[in-house]
Amino acid sequence: MTFFRLAISALFVLSSIAAAQAKTVWVDDQLYLPVRSGAGSQYRIIENAVPSGTPLEVIETSDSGYTRVRTAKGNDGWVSSQYLSNTPIAADRLKTVSRQLEQAKAKLSSLREQLKDVSNERDNLSDAESSLSTRSEELQEELKRIKNIASNSINLERRNRELLEENQKLRNDLEVLTAENERLEASKESDFMLVGAALVFGGVLLALIIPMLKPTRKTDNWA
């Protein structure tokens, strides 16, 4: 039973030490804090003049009002717990807040510049969009005009083809009429020759017949 209690106590101490090792404290608003070799003012000082605001790593705490810490120089010693704080001192917090405020101001200034650049880019894009819209309307009108020209060209081409076909038809008709006219001319000449021959034949025939029609003169017996 006693061994069990000792084990429990040992585990409790070890857990307390482990928990203390993960903790950080700061020297409170005190100009300088001596680090001693033991938990009491009678022990020798192993590191003197630790300034306020210095972070210290907690190693062990005691009921005597002292805390065992490790300094930034790597020294292990004891300091009075009343001069330790779980938060940085007001001056350090003020510096931290001031630094954060400056960073926030710088970030705000950067964001303002970015906003200005974005606004300018937006205006440029708006102008470009307006220009593109105007250009698009011009292209639409040009396309419409080209379509009209193309439509007129197609109509003209179709009309030209119709005229060519009509012209060819007229040429064919002209050739037919020319051939018919030549045939008629040839027929007319042939008829004229026939009429001429008939007239000649008639003339010859009359020349033969007319003498035969004249009365013959009777012989005068009294002569």
Tokens of 190: 């042939």
75 has a pLDDT exceeding 60 = yes
Mean pLDDT of 78-90: 83
20 has a pLDDT exceeding 50 = no
Band of pLDDT at residue 29, cut at 50, 70 and 90: low
Tokens of 111: 């964001």
DSSP state string for 55-84: EEEEEEE-TTSEEEEE-TTS-EEEEEGGGE
> What average pLDDT is seen over the chain?
79
Looking at residue 92, its pLDDT comes to: 60
Looking at residue 88, its pLDDT comes to: 76
- Which of 75-89, 116-130, 163-177, 195-209 is the least confident region? 195-209
Contacts of 36 (CB under 8 A, 6+ apart): 43, 44, 45, 46, 66, 77, 78, 79
Percent of the chain with pLDDT over 90: 13
Q: Which fold, 2-87?
A: SH3 type barrels. (2.30.30)
Domain extents for the chain? 2-87
- Measured CA distances, 171 to 58, 156, 162 (Å): 121, 22, 14
Looking at residue 19, its pLDDT comes to: 46
Mean pLDDT of 140-164: 84
Looking at residue 83, its pLDDT comes to: 85
Mean pLDDT of 147-163: 82
Q: pLDDT higher for 23 or 118?
A: 118
pTM to 2 decimals?
Answer: 0.34
- Which of 2-11, 36-45, 118-127, 153-162 is the least confident region? 2-11
1 has a pLDDT exceeding 70 = no
